[in-house]
Copies of this chain bind each other. A is one copy, B any other.
Amino acid sequence: MLEKIDLSKTITNADYKKSEKMLKPKLGELQRKAWDLKIPVILVFEGWHVSGMCEDINRFILSLDPRGYNFHTMTRPCYEELLKPFIVRFWSRIPVRGKIGVFDRSWYSRSITECLGEEKSERRMEKCLEEINYFERQLADDGYLIIKFFLHISEKEHKERFKELKKAGIPLLFEEYGKEMIHDLYFIGNYNKYLPSVEKLLEETDMPYAPWTVVEADDRNFATLKIMMTVIHALEASIEQATRTPAEKTLKYLDLEAQGIPQLNNSILEQINLSRKINADEYKASKKLYQQKLATLQYELFRIKRPMVVIFEGWDAAGKGGDIYRLVENLNPRLYRVVPVGSPNDTEKAHHYLWRFCEAIPKAGNITIFDRSWYGRVLVERVEGFCSEEEWKRAYREINEFEEILTQAGAIILKFWLHIDKETQLERFNSRQLDPEKKWKITAEDWRNRSRWEDYETAADEMLQKTGTMNAPWVVVESNDKRYSRIKVLKTVAETLEKEL
């Protein structure tokens, strides 16, 4: 891909000035239009580490309104970021709808730098690429416009620029980090060593929804203009598409079933035996036993540095809060975290729906317990129509990929569906309403949800079937009897940890 590029193209300063004068207002105008249409844009800049990238990027971003973009220089991750899956720190930096995220270095050079010289670096690199492809495809599906540039220079130019920088005493970005980065510096300073890794990366990630543009950067005028023109064309196409009427849009997901997602068979939930219960004595003894086990196991998890994700979904009043309470009652709060998930706020709504969970992904060695979760997409958002049919149908695959990324990073995932029948829910609603201490727990929304029981049941059933995977299984918890429910949760978590550790 790179070797055939003709690097001899140049543009004079006078011609550059003239073109810039025409392109700048155009870019400003398109930026404002994309903003109005709430099109989020991701611009990735990669290239040789002395390719004059900074200068080109600066000339380019000067044509943008600073209110409309965020600039990210992706360098060494901080300690906490290293304890989470590779792609999470990039997920957390995606722009809100309508804004432009400019990435000076990105998941691409980070994947090379971070896998370099590691044991099993090839396997790690493959995993990174998989995470990257999931990431970009999911964003593109959600309407993100992704434009990726590789600023290419010749070996000769590379050497000269390196010398120039040294002479002028201009510090390279990573010098900020001192000795730790010398290794990286050596690598990226070595043209012939770096080239094959880059070639491979570009080829494997050049996707129709997120294509690479190689920019001939020996001549800086040429490079800047090519960047501007490419962004202009991409923005125009994207704006044109966004302003088409829905009928004209091509349906992207005609045949989901063909993509390897299993067919919907008969109901899982119908087969659940809700009459299971246990008595008070057994409850007390089992609770003590498993809580003690968990208190020890959490330190074991911490020691071997694996993260754990426990998800609670289920009917209103099925007892999620109570089950979680018993689960964490004897744990060290430094190592677990309960994350209640309600309806998204405005900022969250202005991002991809998975974005808001990035912060809560547990660090290696820690446990995050989700009281409701990303499954809201295929439950409440599906049933109440908060997202389109295309969106929730696509979500099964997206969620499976999202959880796969967690598993790849060593995460132990458990997902509980707390199941009760309609009568039990009614009893609990009524008793809550009569209890002055619990009255606040029951709202009009709970009653409204209840009135759509059958729709939720269908959605839950489809979710259980399409997202129960080997590494992230669903466990249906019979919860008509609260004691039974609590012990089953405690026991499942304890036994899973024992098995995995």
Contact = CB atoms under 8 A, between A and B. Distances in A.
A54 interface: yes
Interface string A330-342: 1111100111101
A16 to B, nearest CB: 15
Interface residues of A, number: 50
A345 B349 CA distance: 14
B333 A54 contact: yes
A170 B340 contact: no
A73 interface: yes
A325 interface: yes
Contacts of A171: 299, 302-303
Nearest to A340: B67
Interface string A26-70: 001100100000000000000000000011011001100011000
A169 interface: yes
A219 interface: no
Interface string A360-395: 000001000001000000000000000000000000
A437 B345 contact: no
A411 B142 CA distance: 41
Interface of A: 25, 28-29, 32, 54-55, 57-58, 61-62, 66-67, 71, 73, 76, 78-81, 104, 169-171, 173, 176-177, 299, 302-303, 324-325, 328-334, 337-340, 342, 345-347, 365, 371, 437, 440
A325 B66 CA distance: 10
A241 to B, nearest CB: 23
Given A32-B440, A176-B302, 16 more contacts: A25-B437, A29-B437, A54-B332, A57-B333, A58-B331, A61-B333, A66-B324, A66-B338, A66-B371, A71-B337, A73-B333, A78-B80, A104-B333, A171-B299, A173-B334, A347-B347
A421 B450 CA distance: 64
Contacts of A346: 345-346
What are the 4 A-B residue pairs with the smallest beta carbon separation, nearest first? A78-B78, A66-B338, A67-B340, A58-B333
A329 B347 CA distance: 31
A337 to B, nearest CB: 7
B80 A79 contact: no
B67 A328 contact: no
A204 to B, nearest CB: 27
Contacts of A437: 25, 28-29
A370 to B, nearest CB: 11
A402 to B, nearest CB: 23
A46 to B, nearest CB: 14
Given A78-B80, A347-B347, A73 B334 contact: yes
A73 B163 CA distance: 46
Nearest to A348: B347
A76 B78 contact: no
A325 B137 CA distance: 35
A328 B62 contact: yes
Contact of A78 (B79, B104, B331, B339): B79
Contacts of A32: 440
Given A66-B338, A365-B176, A437-B25, A332 B58 contact: yes
Contact of A342 (B67, B173, B303): B67
